[in-house]
Structure 1
Amino acid sequence: MMAAIASRLQRLLYLRKAAQLVWRSTPKLTLANIVLVFLQSVLPLASLYLTKLIIDRITEGISTPQTSLQPVLLLIAIAALVAIIGDGLRSLAGWVSEAQSQIVTDYVQNLLHSKSIEVDLEYYENAQYYDFLHQAQTEASYRPTVIVNRFIQLGNSSLSLIGIGLLLFSFDWAIALILIIAAIPVFLVRLRFSQQLYRQWQQWTPQERMAHYYSTLITQVDHAKEIRLFDLGELFGRRFNTLRQAIRQQRISLSARRSFAESITQSSATLAVFTAFALMADRALMGAITIGSLVMYYQAFQRGQTLLRESLSYLASLYENSLFIANFYQFLDLKPMIVEPIKPARLPATLEGRIEFDRVSFSYPRSERSVLEQLKFTIEPGETIAIVGENGAGKTTLIKLLCRLYDPTAGAIRLDGIDLRDLSPSEIRTNISIVFQDYAHYHLTVQENIGVGDIQNWDNLAPIQQAAQWAKIEPTILKLPQGYDTILGKQFINGEELSIGEWQKVAIARSFLRQNHPILILDEPTSALDPQAEAEILEQLNQLTQKRTSIIISHRLSTVKFADRILVLKEGKMVETGNHRQLMEKSGIYATLFNTQAHYYR
């Protein structure tokens, strides 16, 4: 019982937060909406009263032939003016609502983007997070605006309903009671099916995400070659249709049950209208009211029934939206796992770049497998370290820890003697230049593709050109139609595609753009390059790693020969260390790996 009450209170809180969100993003438009609501709520009453006056004047004129037409025409003109004003207010309200909706949608998207950037990498490796994100993205972009509009519409209907209710109550309290009772079943049906829809929607989310994934596989360029070569289009299309059909059938079934229930309850409301009409007709026949009053009360009852049904519908809609908007605010309430220190330590103004791994162990969340175990080593300032090992040895995970994308499960990582957990993550990352193995392909201009490596130089072409020259990619760039202003990739008009090796050179240029950063990390920096291009890049790397603490990860052991020291990982443990010559003399794991690769070149 207490849990149910707490849940309802929480939903009310979400409604209030949604209203506050809309007010923060569009205060002037929200105020304009409120004023328009008040004005639109008054006009129906004025229209009803004018209708009564017109009919009564006409009735009097029929019994008195000498009556002038002028008073009737004046009343009709006033009624027409009221109707025109109403039309104008509705049009203005529509524009205000559309403008507000556009602004709020963008505002909500910005909140989603900010939270997506804020949460840690751990969330992106959790399927439940993607369900959560999908629910927030599909509903949150429009729900806050709907909630505020429902509040406004509820206010509009309620104000008009109060006036009409008082009018009917002054005529006959029984008719006012019929009005209320007839609308309640429709309201209860709407509440019931709102709850069912929400429960179904939560169950559909994984299926909808999977269907979207199959759609992406079929329509996006990333998998286009294999889709065609392996004839996968029909298979993935069939799976998409199977998932969508299951969801579609459940939606249609739910809609059918809802429509049937609403038709039954709506029939009772229709009977109530004619019952009230009969009572009014009886009064008119007895001479208790005029024909104009009969028309006014009958229209008031019809209008009142519509307003009451709308008001209850808006209440049900608010309830429904409170269910769906909950996912959005729960998403915004996600907390980063990488905790920002309350009082972060400060790195020295001139960072030396000494890195210490002190008995570091790590396991990924929701996994019992240990990826790194008791790693203990120190990288001295200016030293170039290579990390090698088989797939799954923990090489890239080590780099993620150093960038503080994760925190160690045990042990500590220190930078110039300071534990990374005592530093702000942003301060750590501003001192690191890195190229990951799965580097990004930005469908932006060449200048922007390189400039993302250091946003301080985003608009400064000179250092970008220098980085491109070091990465040996400038000759390719100069051959592009617009040079550094050429858009890369084929997603946008006039885009130019690069080869995999050329894309990798662009990624390397990003890291070279941060030439003044004291720590350089290269994860498989030459995996897509041909031997000659690799040799050129390695020569440049030799120059750029001077006086910088550098870490290079590579399966191609020719890349790591120039390193001052090589660390060999196996199953998360460091099993060998030394330079190339020392490790070859040991005839251990490194020598075996090197000789295995060298065998294919002999």
Structure 2
Amino acid sequence: MLKINRAVTLVWQSSPFWTTIHSFVAIVQTLLPLIQLYLIKLIVDSIASSLKGTSQSQNFNHILFLLMGTGIVMLLTNFAAVIAELVSTTLSQRVTDYMQVVLYRKAIEIDLESYENPQYQDILERAKWEAPHRPTRMLNNLTSIGQSALSLIVVAGLLITMHWGLISILVVASMPMMLLRVQQSKALYKWQRHQTELERKANYFGHLLLGDSPAKEIRLFNIGNLLIEWVQELRQQLLREKLALITRQASARLLMQGITSLAVLAAYGFMIEQTLQGKFQLGDLVLYSQALQRGQGALKDLIGNLASLHENHLFLADLYEFLAIQPTIAKPLHPTTVPYPFRRGIVFENVSFRYQNSARFALKQINLSIQPGEVIALVGENGSGKTTLVKLLTRLYDVTEGRITIDGIDIRHFSPDDLHRQISVIFQDYTRYQFSAQDNIWLGNIELPITSDRIVQSAHQSGADAVIQTLPQGYNTLLGKWFKGGEELSGGQWQKIALARAFLREAQLVVLDEPTSAMDAKAEAEVFQKFRDLMRDRSALLITHRLSTVKMADRIYVMDQGRITESGTHDQLMARRGTYAHLFEIQAKHYQ
């Protein structure tokens, strides 16, 4: 009952007005057919009375009046059906849109680490399936249950006046069907949960076949038909399982429906026998037979909607499972303000970290510092832990051991939002927003007006302005090819846009993960020639494989397998003749 209340609450929150109208129209739709049934009974009785010799003229006028009333009720019924469709469509769309926003808001609250967990991906996938329509379905189930129950109450009152056994036959005959539908709902839910990962895998193949990023390799390696075969095998497996489940359920329902039909036929036979014996008038026979028919339909609808309500209740649990996920990055109840400006800088003190459900430490005993105004570089092979270190610094993850401080204050004492305002990061896998060039840069600091002159200034600093000036609509040009009129950029040009986004943010620390990896040597040289001026009083943390770009750093840390193995200036590390010097000399040979 609690989950039903939550579902109704979600629908109400999406649109109180349309939910109220929906409920009112449902009540009207329930009452109108019952009024029409009673009017038909009166018409039949009047006709029977006329045939017995009473005043035909008076009866005809009475019948005409009843017919007019029946016609009005029929018109109102049709009108109510049109209104109900309009209201239902509007409310469904309102709920769908509202639930999408609920999902989006929850998704941005959840820690980054969750996205690297397959179990979370299954939960998210099920929530995406169920969120848009399950609350509306539950509301419709409850509405239909109310309508069916109201109809049954009226019908039961009529049938009991004839014989109490009639309603008993209907109820008893329908109980096995109700129990069967509940069991089948559980079986369907269990199967749906079981096949979530297979469904995600099939969708992944679809992403590969339809996405723009994999398109080049799929064609060059000629693997498109292979992927299609794999996805067909998965879909056939899912179809076989679903058909087997549906076949079993349909066979059981057919048996139960046969039992119910026999009971209803017996009730009809009883009513006909009573009429032939003269215990009921012809109008009574029409009334009771129609009442029995409507009672059977109402009971069938009641059972079906109760089963559907149970089924939707089960599936809605997947949404609540997603909404119940709590971030592991705890926000302090009374956060400390991030120092501005930094005075002592950032310090990693014996920091170690391992990912969830992993016994291996990705970082071990990291000690480093970034003083105000310093440019620090991290170098090392792929997988050495450089990007993970940045994620800890920005509290996308929390350290497993040790601590990270700013001016001696543990960063866990800061509000994550406040911390993020002081750190501007562009990761190696930066996002290529399919927005205008202006929007792409403005997203780096949405607290500024979108027309701010600083957008162009940041584009000049990163070299993006020269690229943007060549575009058809300049800064208003849509980037990317997802939407009509978009202009695609090269990897290096996109990287300049991303750098402009990082420079726009008024942050005390700028973190650049492989900031020029897609640029040619000339563009890279231009960026780093003015890098010092760009930083001014800011600190900077550079992650790069191109060791020629880190010579200007105040201090260089060399990482290997999650540890810092060397640190110092370029000259100091070259004189030490260690890993850094070896890597630098190898790269230098390619330029000689």
TM-score normalized with structure 1 length:
0.96
**Paired residue for 1:456?**
447
Counterpart in the other structure of 2:511:
521
Q: Is the Cα contact below 8 Å between 2:480 and 2:486 reproduced in 1?
A: yes
Kept in 1, the 8 Å contact 2:477–2:487? The answer is yes
Instruction: Say yes or no: does 1:238 pair with 2:219.
Output: no
> What is the number of equivalent residue pairs in this alignment?
590
Q: Quick one: percent identity of the two aligned structures?
A: 43
Structure 1 contact 457–464 (Cα < 8 Å) conserved: no
1:50-78: per-residue Cα shift (whole Å, max 9, x none)?
A: 11111122222233386123222221111
Matches within 5 A, 1:78-89: 78-89=69-80
Q: What displacement does 1:510 show?
A: 0.6
Matched residue of 1:496: which SS? coil
Task: Measure, in 2, the Cα distance between the counterparts of 1:520 and 1:407.
Answer: 20
CA contact (8 A) 1:448 1:458 kept: no
212 and 458 in structure 1: CA distance in 2 versus 1, 3 angstrom threshold: farther
- Are the equivalent residues in 2 in contact too, given 1:353–1:548 (CA < 8 A)? no
Q: Letter of the aligned partner of 1:365 in structure 2?
A: Q
Q: Matched residue of 1:561: which SS?
A: coil
Cα offset, 1:554, TM superposition: 0.4
Aligned to 1:269: 260
Aligned counterparts of 1:371 and 1:277: Cα–Cα separation in 2: 76
Matched, 1:94 2:85: yes
Q: Distance in 2 between matches of 1:22 and 1:375?
A: 50
**How far apart, in 2, do the equivalents of 1:376 and 1:109 lie?**
43
Q: Which amino acid aligns with 2:78?
A: D
Q: Does 2:1 correspond to 1:15?
A: no
* 1:219-257 Cα deviation digits (max 9, x unpaired): 110100111111111111111111111111111221122
**Structure 1 position 353, deviation (Å):** 6.5
Answer yes or no: is 1:127 the counterpart of 2:118: yes
Q: What is the distance in 1 between the residues matched to 2:55 and 2:326?
A: 82
| Pick aligned residue for 2:19 from 20, 27, 30 | 30
Q: Any idea what SS the aligned residue of 1:455 has?
A: coil
More deviation in 314-323 or 207-216? Answer: 314-323
Deviations 1:80-116 (A, max 9, x none): 1111111211221221111111111111111110111
CA distance in 1, matches of 2:173, 2:77: 28
Distance 1:262 1:373, change over 3 A: same
Whole-angstrom CA distance in 2 between matches of 1:390 and 1:458:
40
Partner Cα distance (1:195, 1:558) in 2: 63
- The amino acid across from 2:533 in the alignment is Q
User: Of the candidates 286, 289, 292, which is equivalent to residue 280 of structure 2?
Assistant: 289
Checking the alignment, whether the CA contact within 8 Å between 1:47 and 1:82 is kept in structure 2 is yes
Q: How big is each residue's C-alpha offset from its partner over 1:183-236, in whole Å with a ceiling of 9 and x where there is no partner?
A: 222212211111110000000000000000000100110100111111111111
Provide the residue aligned with 2:528 in structure 1: 538
Aligned to 1:147: 138
Partner in structure 2 of residue 580 of structure 1? 570
Give the 3-state SS of the residue equivalent to 2:353 in structure 1.
strand
Report the TM-score, using the length of structure 2 for normalisation.
0.98
State the superposition RMSD in angstroms: 1.3
Which residue in the other structure is 1:442 paired with? 433
Q: Superposition pairs for residues 214-229 of structure 1, below 5 Å?
A: 214-229=205-220
One of 414, 420, 441 as aligned partner of 2:411 = 420
Provide the C-alpha distance between the structure 2 equivalents of 1:527 and 1:305, rounded to a whole number of angstroms. 72
- Report which stretch shifted further, 295-304 or 259-268: 259-268
Pick the aligned partner of 1:591 from 577, 581, 586: 581
Give 2:429's aligned amino acid.
Answer: D
Q: Which one of the candidate residues 33, 38, 49 is aligned to 1:60?
A: 49
Deviations 1:116-155 (A, max 9, x none): 1000111011011100000000011110011011111111
Measure the CA separation in 2 of the matches of 1:13 and 1:63.
59
Matched to 1:544, the amino acid is L
* In the alignment, structure 1 residue 547 sits paired with structure 2 residue 537: yes
SS at structure 1 position matched to 2:382? coil
AA partner of residue 43 (structure 1): L
Deviates more, 1:22-31 or 1:203-212: 22-31
Q: Which SS does the other structure have where 1:567 is aligned?
A: strand
Partner of 1:481: 472
**Pick aligned residue for 1:299 from 280, 283, 290:** 290
- Give the one of 75, 82, 95 matched to 1:104: 95
Maintained 8 Å contact 2:461/2:534: no
The reply to whether residue 183 of structure 1 matches residue 174 of structure 2 is: yes
Is residue 359 from structure 1 mapped to residue 350 from structure 2 by the alignment? yes
Tell me the secondary structure at the aligned position of residue 194 of structure 2. Answer: helix
Q: Out of 35, 48, 66, which is 2:37 matched to?
A: 48
What is the DSSP-based 3-state SS (H/G/I as helix, E as strand, rest coil) of the residue aligned with 1:377? Answer: strand
